[in-house]
A and B are shown apart, each in its own frame.
Chain A
Amino acid sequence: MTTEVGSASEVKKDSSQLGTDATKEKPKEVAENQQNQSSDPEEEKGSQPPPAAESQSSLRRQKREKETSESRGISRFIPPWLKKQKSYTLVVAKDGGDKKEPTQAVVEEQVLDKEEPLPEEQRQAKGDAEEMAQKKQEIKVEVKEEKPSVSKEEKPSVSKVEMQPTELVSKEREEKVKETQEDKLEGGAAKRETKEVQTNELKAEKASQKVTKKTKTVQCKVTLLDGTEYSCDLEKHAKGQVLFDKVCEHLNLLEKDYFGLLFQESPEQKNWLDPAKEIKRQLRNLPWLFTFNVKFYPPDPSQLTEDITRYFLCLQLRQDIASGRLPCSFVTHALLGSYTLQAELGDYDPEEHGSIDLSEFQFAPTQTKELEEKVAELHKTHRGLSPAQADSQFLENAKRLSMYGVDLHHAKDSEGVDIKLGVCANGLLIYKDRLRINRFAWPKILKISYKRSNFYIKVRPAELEQFESTIGFKLPNHRAAKRLWKVCVEHHTFYRLVSPEQPPKAKFLTLGSKFRYSGRTQAQTRQASTLIDRPAPHFERTSSKRVSRSLDGAPIGVMDQSLMKDFPGAAGEISAYGPGLVSIAVVQDGDGRREVRSPTKAPHLQLIEGKKNSLRVEGDNIYVRHSNLMLEELDKAQEDILKHQASISELKRNFMESTPEPRPNEWEKRRITPLSLQTQGRKGDHLFKDILSVKEKYLMPTTRTVEEKAQETDKSSHETLNIVEEKKRAEVGKDERVITEEMNGKEISPGSGPGEIRKVEPVTQKDSTSLSSESSSSSSESEEEDVGEYRPHHRVTEGTIREEQEYEEEVEEEPRPAAKVVEREEAVPEASPVTQAGASVITVETVIQENVGAQKIPGEKSVHEGALKQDMGEEAEEEPQKVNGEVSHVDIDVLPQIICCSEPPVVKTEMVTISDASQRTEISTKEVPIVQTETKTITYESPQIDGGAGGDSGTLLTAQTITSESVSTTTTTHITKTVKGGISETRIEKRIVITGDGDIDHDQALAQAIREAREQHPDMSVTRVVVHKETELAEEGED
């Protein structure tokens, strides 16, 4: 391993060299936020003295000493007193790309979706993966070895995140590592570390170099709606968005959010290409063949801005009709067919058209002569309609078809009866044969989830009901279930939300896929469409059978022509964003705006995107006026980031409150009546399977005020800043699996058996960092990615009240390295909180950590503040036992219940019946993807922290969690208030997830976050910073 010269970007990211220099020169600055700290071995040594005993000054001293040697990215920005490094873990997975900073940081997402966008760099690095493989292995081993020793030395009792490496490594490796660890436990830690670092650097550099050298391309072919094929070469690791943009550009399509690319996974299954993910990952070994299709059917096509968009929609619908996907009556077939003729052939001309053989057109799945005659007859009546008008008429009629825009999925109900689930703009439709037998409007659906091949929806209780119900459907297989789930998530987001929901954030435990729709919503795309300001583009209408002359009456101006010509397609696009190629400003306008927003872009773009600040500048000459608005929007978003998270979260809450249920229309109201009632009379359909009867008390989300109070009141308390920066692992790794298991254990525990009753904790919260560390020590497996969940309504908090003490203790005492617990802050004599607490505490969030061994689950619990008065005592009484009971059970058959952090403060008690008992034993291990990521966890702690550990944790007064998100950052603020013998202490734990591709300056972002945190809570002190970085390195896996 020789050290090579790194590329510029690497240097930047790695910052180790720079950092070192800087630190040396000005040790004083250390005291400031922006200091460089490194995770160098030396530093670790220095920090070895037990944290608890340290005073700030001593810390500082240490730091200075260390500074010389240190210099790793994020640490720079961490306040000096925090500098103490508890553990440093560096795992290099397959790709040697150490230098790659986490482009995407996902904090607590244990279960990663493979759908997550890959950092651009990764792609490039991949090419070298193979070469690097060997190296990595070595490195890994080393890392592990050192770890144990470090932790040992440093902190005998408090074990932190050290165990990271294992999570990410495949099993075999894990084992190896472990062995090594054991062997070398006592070995010299320092040496190893150094070595490690070097290696990493090396790799990184190498990787980057290579990247620039060879870029493999793959040819992809896309079948367009008019039947023609578009092909282009894509970089091997290109994301879906790149291809999609190329296609749209080729088509000259601006309103592209309604469209998507499909690939055929199997003869029966087609999947949407996720724009945010690498194509390669999604396709696995499939050929790069796609079809361009409408993904979201606009409910009202007349609201589309451009005729060309309507035209493509028409083409799609013609396909749908001809294939039978969109059933029509005879009359409608004829009518639509006649509009097609009018659009493609123009006015009926007896001489010209009399002889045309209409059988060349396909107006219906089975076309009769009678139909053709009817079509011809109706065609005559459309005289005078321009092609665009004919298309509009076509759409006006097509949109009313009952199956318009309904995406059907085969399934079985709980009785095994074949049904179809139709996902559409308004919700979920259930069909038996052709009959609609049930319907769940989006507002009625609380949660959508899947588990293995089961798909669940949790439905809001009806007006007169107290119980939520969960309805399960059986899909043919796991992938089908996941696909359905994704489609639901996307449709809900697209049609119902104003803006896309961020992927589930790090904060709490999330099981399964964290896939979210990342594109624009309908509202957004409509708004964007209003800004389209180009002359109607010229395009040719073709029929699938033959090319007809262009009849479009749209004026073809110079601009038009140039547009067309300047949009040659792939090559043009990319180069357009390159440094020197700004000449065609006009051209960019359309797509440029898109670029700005989408996080996954062509290579060049990514640079721009990564740094928002520079974005505008760089983009100036590229984006023309239409995009200005978008840019402004972006600005705004950025400001938001900088603002108080609290206020953001409030906005969000308000938004949620105002969005909720549909019309108070009488009819709608009635809808809310119990489903069971409605179905009673029906004999054949046992569609409704009430898996869960939930008794729920809904509490109003008044959290906001409370939460503010909380912050204000606890001036003297300490704040724990838990910053995690992590890169999303595209593949679910070991640690995810572990998590899944945990969830399972938790969820299912007391009553997982059919017919049994159990309580479900609505919220399971997990500290990602701790999670990951845990996972390292675990060897258990469960399927990951088998579960996905989505809550259509964002809510802020949800929880169950519990007593905190026991769990806290457990956690903190936990000797295992895995238990990374957030320390408790200094106790402060307290006055106000108590009052608050009495009235407002309603919900508790629980974080449960479970060991692999499943013996005991150390939990971290925090209480959420809810609003209304609630009988807290009662709740508290009930819950704890249940919780305890749950702990020991690890059952994989989890209800998809698990996650919730986004619901309103609710105290739930659920009775669960799991009907699908047969399924429980199935644990699929086959689909466990290999995780290739790099994870780093760095913990900085101030000495005071330890006060709470192991001690009496006091009585939990309140806890709350606030989440706010902005473009690249997700902040979860967790405030816990406890009283211990008349002293109250408040602990604020923030989890900031910085996610982004490529060039986001994570260090910067982190520094910013820390600064903000301090500003927000000037009276509190930061006691601990944990940085968890995860960089995705690998490429394999599936979507």
Chain B
Amino acid sequence: MGTPGEGLGRCSHALIRGVPESLASGEGAGAGLPALDLAKAQREHGVLGGKLRQRLGLQLLELPPEESLPLGPLLGDTAVIQGDTALITRPWSPARRPEVDGVRKALQDLGLRIVEIGDQNATLDGTDVLFTGREFFVGLSKWTNHRGAEIVADTFRDFAVSTVPVSGPSHLRGLCGMGGPRTVVAGRSDAAQKAVRAMAVLTDHPYASLTLPDDAAADCLFLRPGLPGVPPFLLHRGGGDLPNSQEALQKLSDVTLVPVSCSELEKAGAGLSSLCLVLSTRPHS
């Protein structure tokens, strides 16, 4: 378990999944998704993979895209990983549930303990789960229900798992993220602020909070790829995305900021937390 908060962001591997053409059409993804520039989306995705591998030095595993799974690249919804345990989720959208298969396989191969959701009443999108290093918050959103949250609690018993009501269409991770072991980053929207307040009530641990102009900017990844002494990274939206939030992000000290753009993928509902899964194959070392 390590020192509190220390477990946050520890990673050796990153898992991503290629962007299928079906994402661009917007059809396969289901109603409501706008068409998007496939090439741009794929380019963004490629850049993301590159940064994970080269800038952060992670072992990158890329699952091949599947046309039948337009939202496959958003694999952050398919698993919740902490330590050596991966909870395979049961996404709210039935169409997305097959996405978990490839991910499960990959994670299994990486040696993680796989936990499945057997309960047919549970829905859980992985991006409704925020792990702070000390505890979990599960957004009770359009996507995730109480039962789903309960399973998170059942799976990660060492940690407090608190539920946070999330209003609107967002996932919890679309509203807030961790900017450091003791820092919660959140957007400025009402929904985001409300979520943060709820979390503040529920937690036993003091966190600082940083408010960003854009909710999407709060969807960042605090990553600690390994080597001691090397400052951790914060993978965040940037590179032309969300210019208003860049300045505020500079306030985060002790992290190396790694900006990454995914404005096109965002149109499909993607964020950094959904575009990759990070894990450590040796979580306790």
Report which A residues bind B (CB closer than 8 A). Answer: 327-332, 335, 397, 400-402, 426, 432-439, 663, 665-668, 670-671, 673, 675, 677-682, 684-685
Contact = CB atoms under 8 A, between A and B. Distances in A.
A401 B153 CA distance: 12
Contacts of A434: 150, 153-154, 157, 161
B166 interface: yes
Given A401-B158, A677-B197, A678-B165, A330 B209 contact: no
B204 A426 contact: yes
A663 B208 CA distance: 11
B163 A329 contact: no
Given A331-B83, A671-B200, A681-B166, A400 B158 contact: yes
A335 B1 contact: yes
B5 to A, nearest CB: 10
Nearest to B149: A435
Interface string B149-193: 110011111111111011100000000000000001000000000
Given A663-B206, A666-B208, A678 B198 contact: yes
B207 interface: yes
Contact of A437 (B1, B155, B162): B162
B31 interface: no
A120 B44 CA distance: 80
Contact of B163 (A401, A435, A666): A435
B4 interface: yes
B158 A332 contact: yes
A621 to B, nearest CB: 47
Given A678-B165, A682-B140, A682-B165, A436 B200 contact: no
Contacts of A685: 163
Contact of A670 (B135, B146, B209): B209
Given A330-B113, A678-B201, A666 B209 contact: yes
Given A435-B146, A436-B202, A402 B160 contact: yes
Contact of B1 (A332, A438, A671, A675): A332
A681 B167 contact: yes
| Residue among B154, B157, B201 with max Cβ neighbours from chain A (10 Å) | B201
Contacts of B53: none
B43 to A, nearest CB: 37
A974 B161 CA distance: 49
Interface in B114-166: 134-135, 138, 140, 146, 149-150, 153-163, 165-166
6 contacts: A328-B158, A329-B157, A400-B1, A401-B158, A663-B206, A681-B165
Contacts of B150: 433-435
A438 B156 CA distance: 19
B209 A677 contact: no
Interface of B: 1, 4, 83-85, 113, 134-135, 138, 140, 146, 149-150, 153-163, 165-167, 184, 194, 196-198, 200-204, 206-209, 284
Q: State the majority secondary structure of interface residues on B.
A: mixed
Nearest to A682: B165
A242 B146 CA distance: 48
| Residue among A400, A402, A432 with max Cβ neighbours from chain B (10 Å) | A402
A400 B83 CA distance: 15
A667 B202 CA distance: 11
Shortest Cβ-Cβ A-B pairs, 3 listed: A681-B165, A402-B160, A434-B153
B17 to A, nearest CB: 27
Nearest to B138: A435
A1039 B46 CA distance: 70
A680 B194 CA distance: 10
Nearest to A663: B206
A157 to B, nearest CB: 58
B207 A667 contact: yes
Contact of A331 (B85, B138, B197): B85
Contacts of A681: 140, 165-167, 194
A670 B158 contact: no
A402 B158 contact: yes
A397 B1 contact: yes
A191 to B, nearest CB: 69
| Residue among B166, B197, B284 with max Cβ neighbours from chain A (10 Å) | B197
B152 to A, nearest CB: 8
| Residue among B1, B113, B140, B158 with max Cβ neighbours from chain A (10 Å) | B158
A630 to B, nearest CB: 32
Contacts of B140: 681-682, 684
A667 B200 contact: yes
A823 to B, nearest CB: 51
B38 to A, nearest CB: 35
Contacts of B138: 435
A435 B138 CA distance: 9
A147 B183 CA distance: 72
Given A327-B158, A329-B156, 14 more contacts: A331-B284, A332-B1, A400-B134, A401-B158, A433-B146, A433-B150, A434-B150, A435-B138, A436-B160, A436-B162, A438-B201, A667-B200, A667-B208, A685-B163
B234 to A, nearest CB: 19
B200 A670 contact: yes
B232 to A, nearest CB: 20
A316 B165 CA distance: 36
Contacts of B167: 680-681
Nearest to B183: A667
Nearest to A444: B201
Contact of B206 (A327, A668, A675): A668
Contact of B85 (A329, A671, A680): A329
B148 to A, nearest CB: 10
A328 B163 CA distance: 19
